[in-house]
Structure 1
């Protein structure tokens, strides 16, 4: 990239930050209620599509009820997490049924039950994770400046779509499991950490331009992997990225969960002490057939995150607990059984 381009992009980033601060002060979309001091959460992104497919859920007594009522009233889940893709295939209920409008309707449903909302913006038409960070098709020919503009516009659009439903997200992830950056190859961290940092800041500033109270998250997989977190989060910060929280995923087995929790908590403390960032465990899960171990795992990580130094452990979210065995081509880490009743896994959230 030419020096003139770099100077222009730096000026754009500064202008975006200033605009965000002005709009946050004058435009004042404020949260209706404070986020919980500790989020006990569930990613419910598949719910809308599953209901469209005819799925329903029972509680442990075999009584059919609204899945959100079961999560909140039976397991003390106070927060939900919902992913947003840019232009998903809306005919594919299992995978693609979450554009901004459908996500906002689901978020409103949760908010109306008194639950807080986290959004995970994938900046893709499909899954974004450590192995794939594919640009939305409509953005595929954009240069980097256009890509930053698209991130800004899409983020503001999603936030305003939520606002139209009366929902103020408490947290928004700028990307999902961005271990090697996002929007490849322009924002691939191992190729251009500066670009990745600019994309994170653009998303952060776009969120703040609509809701100054919403906290932003950079979310990486493998919460036990301190080396990757130091390289990624440290690289972002050294390149001037602005965001609020470090997010982590953790999917251990029944045999290694205790070790992985210990490593993840050590990594969380490292993020707090080194970078001054609070930590959110944005995704956890374990095979539904290991429900007893899963319950112990949830209990342990919930307790240890809650007790992180300085109150900097903000919460734990179970990923798609409403999934039944084998849902969507073989996902087996939900917390519901094929008979429609829950496993014991979510009992780990109970105080």
Structure 2
């Protein structure tokens, strides 16, 4: 009986996904990474709209101009509230839900069991001890599996990241930037698996500190030299974490120059795939978001694709994270209204 129930549930999910509105692709993307959302809901966190009425978080985001949802996926994550979840099945379920709400979808492969960023790029535990040729198969097989699960659920991501903030590479130590020939091979296995399942999805390579032109030139010169395949250059921009002044006005022009240089130098599209500002400096964060969108929109030939806020709904009262765009009252702060500005 249990097996029959699971089968019926799967059929229902497929039917629901098939009937979901398919978002119109194209146009400037205004996005939110909401990987914490299922955990927040599971622990009883309540979201409220500007009128103080309890409402679905994705609906609230949409009401603030958000049209894109970014979702991370981890290989074999724990069930830790803040640093776990985001498995294949959870990511697919969230992607279906977001698409049903009319959202465009971005998938972010971390190639780890938890956070991957410039401080940590730990390979999945199940891949430990594998020789490099097997690691290449691991990347291809895992990527293909997740993409195929999305396809079965009726979701075609508009964008897919191979790695997250890979300034020093991914899947250490084999994929460290100390060994670019191997890193490029790992990247290309991810790229090939994505395109095999979803040829229309644009593949993003993502580096942090989007205002640092030399950082980006060095990284993407190496990517080009070693034949790494991709479609879009993704940037993070968090003034709070930058050396020197945390005020965005000190680095926003550098971000704009770097965006333009990336397009001119490599002929690729660009996108700010992570941005965030301090939740207790609402006006400053609002103004920063407006300025970032204007810089991306100003990229020539419409090659600036969009801006995505990282965990805007991840209220500090739940996450302890100070760069959300949500208040202690469970409502979005006015900073998020920056996405309503044209």
Q: Fold-level match, TM-score > 0.5?
A: yes
Q: Secondary structure of 2:209's match?
A: coil
Task: Verify the 8 A CA contact 1:175 1:218 in the aligned structure 2.
Answer: yes
The secondary structure found in structure 2 opposite 1:289 is: coil
Q: 2:214 aligns with which of 223, 227, 252?
A: 227
| Separation of aligned partners in 1, 2:146 and 2:249 | 38
Aligned to 1:125: 113
Given that residues 42 and 321 in structure 1 are in contact (C-alpha distance below 8 angstroms), is that contact kept between their aligned partners in structure 2? Answer: yes
| CA displacement at 1:339 relative to structure 2 | 1.3
Report the Cα offset of residue 94 of structure 1: 2.4
* Structure 1 Cα separation of the partners of residues 97 and 179 of structure 2: 40
Within the candidate set 132, 152, 158, 1:170 is matched to 158
The question of whether the paired residues in 1 share the 8 Å contact of 2:158 and 2:200 is answered with: yes
Cα deviation for residue 255 of structure 1 reads 5.0
Q: Post-superposition shift, 1:293?
A: 0.4
Tell me if 1:297 matches 2:285: no
Query: 1:68 maps to what in 2?
Result: 58
Are 2:170 and 1:179 equivalent residues in the alignment?
no
Which one of 342, 345, 349 corresponds to residue 335 of structure 2? Answer: 345
Q: Structure 1 residue 32: deviation in Å?
A: 5.3
How far does residue 114 in structure 1 lie from its aligned partner after superposition?
0.9
Q: SS at 1:57's partner residue?
A: coil
Instruction: Provide Cα deviations, 1:66-112, integer angstroms capped at 9, x if missing partner.
Output: 00111112x110001000000000x2232211101001101111101
Map of 2:302 onto structure 1: 311
Q: Given that residues 22 and 102 in structure 2 are in contact (C-alpha distance below 8 angstroms), is that contact kept between their aligned partners in structure 1?
A: no
- Rounded Cα–Cα distance in structure 1 between residues aligned with 2:138 and 2:214: 31
1:17 paired residue number: none
TM-score (norm 1): 0.88
Checking the alignment, whether the CA contact within 8 Å between 2:104 and 2:157 is kept in structure 1 is yes
Corresponding residue of 1:218: 205
Q: Deviations over 1:177-213 (max 9, x none)?
A: 0001111110101x11111111111111110000100
Q: Which residue of 1 aligns with 2:11?
A: none
Counterparts in 2 of 1:66 and 1:33: CA distance versus 1, 3 Å: closer
After TM superposition, give the deviation of residue 326 of structure 1 in Å: 4.5
Q: Residue by residue, what CA displacement relative to the aligned partner does 1:132-185 show, whole Å, maximum 9, x if unpaired?
A: 100000001111111110000000111011112111110000000000111111
Q: In the alignment, is the contact (CA less than 8 A) between 2:22 and 2:99 conserved in 1?
A: no
* Kept after mapping to 1: 8 A contact 2:23/2:103: no
| Alignment match, 2:16 | none
Counterparts of 1:256 and 1:94 in 2: how far apart (Å)? Answer: 27
Contact 1:50/1:94, CA 8 A, preserved across alignment:
no
Cα 1:151/1:68, change in 2 over 3 Å: same
Give me the whole-angstrom Cα distance separating, in 1, the residues matched to 2:61 and 2:24: 20
Partner of 2:77: 88
**Is the 2:206–2:233 contact (alpha carbons within 8 Å) kept by the matching residues of 1?**
yes
Give the gaps of 5 or more residues in structure 2: 1-20
Which residue of the partner structure matches residue 97 of structure 1?
85
Mapped to 2, the partners of 1:102 and 1:41 lie a distance apart of 19
Secondary structure of 1:110's match? helix
- Residues 204 and 234 in structure 2, CA contact (< 8 A), matched pair in contact too: yes
Q: Find the aligned partners of 1:282 and 1:327 in 2 and give their Cα distance.
A: 23
Q: Which residue of 2 aligns with 1:23?
A: none
The correspondence of residues 276-287 of structure 1 with structure 2, limited to 5 A, is 276-287=267-278
Equivalent position SS for 2:294? helix
Q: Distance in 1 between matches of 2:181 and 2:65?
A: 41
Structure 2 SS opposite 1:156: helix
Q: Give the match for residue 41 of structure 2.
A: 51
Q: Aligned partners of 1:258, 1:331: CA distance in 2, in Å?
A: 23
Contact 1:194–1:236, Cα closer than 8 Å, also in 2: no
Deviation digits for residues 211-270 of structure 1 (CA, Å, limit 9, x no counterpart): 100000000110011111111111011111111000000111485202222111111111
> Which residue in the other structure is 2:9 paired with?
none
Root-mean-square deviation over aligned CA pairs: 1.4
Q: How many residues align?
A: 317
Residues 124 and 134, structure 1, Cα contact 8 Å, conserved in 2: yes
Taking the aligned partners of 1:62 and 1:238, their CA distance within structure 2 comes to 54
Contact 2:30 2:66 in 1 (8 A): yes
- Secondary structure of residue in 2 paired with 1:62: coil
**Cα pair 2:23 2:102 within 8 Å, conserved:** no
